[in-house]
Chain A
Amino acid sequence: MEHEVQRVRQAFLSGRSRPLRFRLQQLEALRRMVQEREKDILAAIGSDLCKSEFNAYSQEVIAVLGEIDFMLENLPEWITAKPVKKNLLTMLDEAYLQPQPLGVVLIIGAWNYPFVLTIQPLIGAIAAGNAVIIKPSELSENTATILAKLLPQYLDQDLYIVINGGVEETTELLKQRFDHILYTGNTTVGKIVMEAAAKHLTPVTLELGGKSPCYIDKDCDLDIVCRRITWGKYMNCGQTCIAPDYILCEASLQNQIVQKIKETVKEFYGENVKESPDYERIINHRHFKRILSLLEGQKIAFGGETDEATRYIAPTVLTDVDPKTKVMQEEIFGPVLPIVPVKNVDEAINFINEREKPLALYVFSHNHKLIKRMIDETSSGGVTGNDVIMHFMLNSFPFGGVGSSGMGAYHGKHTFDTFSHQRPCLLKSLKREGANKLRYPPNSQSKVYWGKFFLLKRFNKEKLGLLLLTFLGIVAAVLVKAEYY
């Protein structure tokens, strides 16, 4: 393990990954990989999650292609130095922020969207000029295997490597030193990753999870609301970090909600959901059993059918759920939707705030003021109002959590920034040493005055011409010198 990481570090130190041309080339190669080997990639994702080709394409591959194109288009601009506002003291100097790669970054992927959650961060890491070690989730075996097979065929084999393995290998890997770690997964392992990173003072981006609440107001079109929620909840069989985890609404709405979700499920997946090509399966038996245990003692309004052999769990809705029961204690990550009745929006807000900050928050209402209030009085990674999931789709948005749902963010330019060091630079010349007399000891009262003048005022080009300023500087230096010598 140490040997592998060393090899990648040596490759980074060679400087190969830094020129713009190289980064663009690698991104283009990645794009070719996705296009040429699409069938293999879709098949791998498909067999891991029982996902149709179309779903794998529309949920994962499209996002990857979009991200690559976005990078290719904007990277030339992003890697340039950005000048910053100067003050009187530095007006004749160059002051800017220069983005630089961090070095060797580690990306630990997740199993629920095994392709995009590994490749999207990779795209930004390459764009920022780093070397990358990718550790796909071992639970999505086929995707892990295909990534290990395909990436070396298209990308630089020393700069970007795939390391596969389970808990033991990952623990070994985390002992090594990296310049940034991006981890997608659960809270428990997130803490382990950060603790390991702390030993090397490695910065981390943690994309974790939580229970994303979904508040449905009385004042809304329940037909539309339930369609949108059904789509977001049952996609990928509920195994989405930003799926609406549970519903909060007034008790009187419960029955209607159940009815409409039931109808929508039928519309989306047919009479026999098990036979729909668009409905996925639970990733493995351990999670299957875990989700099953959440149903114990609950009022199943509809759904609840399971088949262990195929790891099938039907789209399920629970009503009158007691907040103290198991299903409300952990992130569900499955096709089970509890409805917790609340008296009103006040109670909903208190309910949400009593719990850990979630990755996403959803609120459905025609009342804009109510939506605003929900947002104002709660906290979460992100918010979508009157829909679910969609804030994930905008790559101009930073995507990340807060509190136990995570730290840091990525997508689009935010990935580039995450994997870069924006280095502040101030370049002066060795001339005009006279002006520095102001700051050198021994000090005098007039120096204090002029020091304050230059430090307290902001340089505003419109107000003072360059000439006047230079004149002032010379006058100040002369005055001080005259007084002193």
Chain B
Amino acid sequence: MKDGTDPFEDTLRRLREAFHSGCTRPAAFRAEQLQALGRFLQENKQLLHDALAQDLHKSAFDSDISELIICQNEINLALKNLQAWMKDTPASTNLFTKLDSAFVRKEPFGLVLIIAPWNYPINLTLVPLVGALAAGNCVVLKPSEISQGTEKILAEVLPRYLDQSCFAVVLGGPEETGQLLKHKFDYIFFTGSPRVGKIVMTAAAKHLTPVTLELGGKNPCYVDDNCDPQIVANRVAWFRYFNAGQTCVAPDYLLCSPEMQERLLPALQSAITRFYGDDPQSSPNLGRIINQKQFQRLRALLGCGRVAIGGQSDECDRYIAPTVLVDVQEMEPVMQEEIFGPILPIMNVQGMDEAIEFINRREKPLALYAFSNSSQVVNQMLERTSSGSFGGNDGFIYMTLPSLPLGGVGHSGTGRYHGKFTFDTFSHHRACLLCPAGLEELNNIRYPPYSHSMQELVRWALGSHSCTLL
């Protein structure tokens, strides 16, 4: 870079030329790529497990259910439905276009860029890739440099499976990514923080590139007085401490009454012990913080409020114990930034209305959770707030449903994906109307000159009937 040459120029040109050649358009090619992606997952299972263990101390089970199986599902879904998804969608015609053929075509955008994060480095890289390939695009993948183990596999092993004239992996940190973003892409899919999301969107604006931004925020979790504290504690704890809290849709903080807090604390301790044993550091089921920088950041947050559960940390291991903080003030750092770690602060509110007011004062989160035996309470929380997605009485289990898209709103993001939604995200929906070449007499009504009687006729025809005829 210092000598002025652009490291990405050649790769991007090559991919663009490939796209123009049309090789990614036929269904057979796309299916082949998807099948190859499936083989990549199957044939390198051990490698992937090892890399995820190295990066995030993920157990094989956790790697399977949160990364590999999800990717496999997406590939299977895409393969099964590819023909149906690619088909032109007929559009309903109106009075003036009854004799025409009207349909919406799904067309690839062209050269798309996927920038992936480090917390679920396989899932959050490959699931968008599945949709991008299924939609017929050429893809540039920029995996996170922070999850080094998986970055290596994605850079060295994955390209061997895919057609390298239409697919490339590029590596680098913030500086290289900045340089990459100066180039023109036809779509950019970014998963990461809101701060970097703004940088990506600003860069995209220079080329009028459409974007999907999967960002984050502080996901509130309201616990009503009317519920079983142990069941709630089980569910909240599992979703909070999975992957050592490094999940964009994890419950970030709890909102409950002081009375509920008294009942929840022992229940949370009980759940943590049940899941991770008396010495969570030796549990194979608890992850580690990705790197020193994040570890130091999280350790500093342990100083907020008062530690009610956990609070231990080990720098050499990048280990932070499953922690619950109480007596937390709204202005403290732990309530100002997305935690992204195994720390759960509890804020006290006197009931649902105060919780809703608290939530609505802040940025719209990626996820919102409400626990209550009363479906009325759950529905109220739903109706009176906004968030990317909503989970009632459980955590992000909705992620297993490909029929529910994942996406944010406001500062938590724009656009959505999973399943068919990914295919649609990476497709341009082109409206096509094919009119009859003849039957010109029918068109005479639209041509000038408009005599007075003609005007009256048109006004009558269009005015007196419902204008939905149009």
Residues of chain A having any CB pair with chain B under 8 Å: 13, 52, 54-55, 57-58, 62-63, 65-66, 68-70, 73, 84-87, 89-90, 94-95, 97-98, 100, 102-103, 179, 187, 190-191, 194-195, 197-199, 201, 203, 206, 208, 220-221, 223-224, 227-228, 231, 267-270, 276-279, 353, 364-366, 371, 375, 377, 379-387, 390-391, 393-399, 402-404, 406-409, 421-430, 433, 436, 439-443, 447-448, 451-452, 455-456
Contacts and interface: CB of A to CB of B under 8 A. Distances in A.
Contact of B428 (A187, A375, A379): A379
Interface in B43-69: 59-62, 64-65, 69
Given A69-B467, A191-B206, A442-B275, A394 B404 contact: no
A436 to B, nearest CB: 7
A294 B144 CA distance: 49
Contacts of B198: 198-199, 201
B403 A201 contact: no
A194 B403 contact: no
5 contacts: A54-B458, A190-B208, A380-B430, A406-B208, A429-B393
Contacts of A406: 208
A399 B431 contact: yes
A237 to B, nearest CB: 13
B252 interface: no
Contact of A390 (B60, B76, B371, B433): B433
B448 A426 contact: no
The interface centre, meaning the residue of B73, B391, B470 with most chain A CB atoms within 10 A of its CB, is: B470
Of all A-B residue pairs in the complex, the 8 with the closest CB atoms, nearest first, are A441-B285, A427-B392, A194-B205, A66-B467, A198-B201, A426-B398, A84-B403, A66-B470
Interface string B75-91: 01000000000000001
B69 A455 contact: yes
Contact of B64 (A195, A198, A424, A451): A451
B400 interface: yes
Contacts of B266: none
Contacts of A455: 65, 69-70, 73, 400
Contacts of B336: none
Contact of A393 (B97, B202, B400, B415): B97
Given A198-B202, A382-B431, A402-B428, A394 B466 contact: no
Contact of A383 (B60, B227, B430): B430
Contacts of B360: 13
Contact of B104 (A269, A353, A398): A398
A52 B452 CA distance: 12
Contacts of A440: 234, 238, 274-275
B102 interface: yes
Contacts of A408: 210
Contacts of A87: 400-401
B138 to A, nearest CB: 14
Please classify the interface of chain B as helix (H, G, I), strand (E, B), loop, or mixed, using the class held by over half of its residues.
mixed
Contact of A187 (B22, B204, B208, B393): B208
Nearest to B22: A377
Contact of B61 (A69, A371, A443): A443
Contacts, number: 299
Contacts of B434: 371, 384-386
Contact of B208 (A97, A191, A279): A191
B87 to A, nearest CB: 14
A101 to B, nearest CB: 8
Contacts of B448: 268-269, 276, 278-279
A422 B406 CA distance: 10
Contacts of A63: 470
Given A397-B431, A399-B431, 14 more contacts: A87-B400, A89-B400, A191-B206, A194-B204, A231-B443, A353-B20, A394-B97, A424-B406, A427-B378, A430-B371, A436-B235, A436-B238, A451-B69, A455-B69
Contact of A439 (B73, B100, B238): B238
Contacts of B157: none
Contacts of B105: 375
A96 B90 CA distance: 25
Most B Cβ at <10 Å: residue of A386, A403, A426: A426
Contacts of A100: 386
Given A62-B462, A382-B431, A394-B91, A201 B390 contact: no
A439 B432 CA distance: 48
Contacts of B446: 231
Contacts of A269: 448-449
A436 B230 CA distance: 13
A97 B72 CA distance: 24
B428 A86 contact: no
A198 to B, nearest CB: 4
A425 B388 CA distance: 9
Contact of B400 (A90, A377, A398): A90
